Amino acid sequence: MIPFKTIRERALQLQPARYWIATGIFATSILVIVPLLNAVPGPSSPFHFPDYLLPLLGKFLCYAILALALDLVWGFTGILSLGHGLFFALGGYAMGMYLMRSIKGEGVYRSELPDFMVFLDWKKLPWYWHGFGNFNFALAMAVLVPGLVAFAFGYFAFRSRVRGVYLSIVTQALTYAAMLLFFQNATGFGGNNGLTDFKRILGYSLHDPSTKLTLYVISGMALLFVYLLCRYVVASKLGRVLTAIRDAELKVRFCGYQAAHYKLFVWTLSAMLCGLAGALYVPQVGIINPSEMQPSNSIEMAIWVAVGGRGTLVGPVAGAWLINGTKSWLTTAFPSAWLYVLGTLFVVITLFIPDGLVGISTAIRNRLSARIRA
């Protein structure tokens, strides 16, 4: 039998990439397997998982994907985006348009048009709504539209070498302008009420517990896929160039690399991942409106990454779960205390724990490793 001390030594000697990959796979597997096991026992069993919690935890999984996407551009490339809420909302609107089209003729007005269009006296469906009756088309648009918007924005921003706090301000202005646009009834996206009253997806009722469980599992699998994809990117040669751009972009350009091209690629990829998260978010929450584009939401996303530990991938996932879990509990128990807790947490993390939760974990592992070697 191998002594326990030897096992610990071998575990501590694992390469960081392998360690975090194993940690991510284990955590995601637990998030997916536990609800599946809880679907077997009956409601009276102590192991039964309440059905009403599945959409909430599914929402947290979508937030974790969003945090990974932001960490890819901020933690590894040094681009602090305060507008990722726009890409998230665009993906959500694409899926919401499909869900609205899937119940045509079943609304209050029994019309082929969505109820809000009938109420606003629209005579025909806008051209940009065509095709969203097909699930595959809607899912493709949920990923491609945010990617195209990000590519167009990034092409001009990175070619103009806008960076640092100026780029952050421009991204915040972009999402704020989009929010004001979507608030207008004339845009055809439901105005300030947004899109809601969804009933089914692919023929399955969204109120059925089995559908909620399926959406949760799909969200968990998507989180695992996005995590492995981001890990592959940052562990490759591309990832090393991105890290070099974060640390010394001017030197990277002097070495002959087109830094703008690398930044544009990772920026577009991040936006597409945000769109995927939005598409998974909407059927579980049941609504999408322009408030998802609020600049404060994008700032909160940055707090998830900072609390978990930017530049680690695992940290942002943990930060998204911790912050949103705490928010769900505090806003119910102490509604007025949440903003104070969030602000205090951000200040403490910034001043005293700049590496976040993962930094604490790494420090503990380093101390343990030092003691073993001693």
Rounded mean pLDDT, 69-96: 95
Q: Is 80 exceeded by the pLDDT of residue 59?
A: yes
SS3 per residue for the chain: CCCHHHHHHHHHCCCHHHHHHHHHHHHHHHHHHHHHHHCCCCCCCCCCCCCCHHHHHHHHHHHHHHHHHHHHHHCCCCCCCCCHHHHHHHHHHHHHHHHHHCCCCCCCCCCCCCHHHHHCCCCCCCHHHCCCCCHHHHHHHHHHHHHHHHHHHHHHHHHCCCCCHHHHHHHHHHHHHHHHHHHCHHHCCCHHHCEECCCEECCEECCCHHHHHHHHHHHHHHHHHHHHHHHHHHHCHHHHHHHHHHHHHHHHHHCCCCHHHHHHHHHHHHHHHHHHHHHHHHHHHCEECHHHHCHHHHHHHHHHHHHHCCCCCHHHHHHHHHHHHHHHHHHHHCHHHHHHHHHHHHHHHHHHCCCHHHHHHHHHHHHHHHHHHC
Sequence spans of domains, the chain: 4-373
Rounded mean pLDDT, 260-278: 96
- The neighbour count for residue 195, using CB atoms within 10 Å, is 22
pTM: 0.89
Q: Is 80 exceeded by the pLDDT of residue 11?
A: no
Q: Is 90 exceeded by the pLDDT of residue 203?
A: no
Supply the pLDDT for residue 122: 87
Q: Is 60 exceeded by the pLDDT of residue 27?
A: yes
Distances (CA, A) of 335 to 238, 292, 304: 44, 20, 20
Q: Is 70 exceeded by the pLDDT of residue 2?
A: no
pLDDT tens string 137-170: 999 999 999 999 999 999 999 999 998 899 999 9
Which pair of structure tokens corresponds to residue 118?
């009938």
Higher per-residue pLDDT: 150 or 120: 150
- Binned at pLDDT 50, 70 and 90, residue 78 comes out as very high
Q: Is 80 exceeded by the pLDDT of residue 311?
A: yes
Supply the pLDDT for residue 52: 78
CB 215 within 8 A of CB 200: no
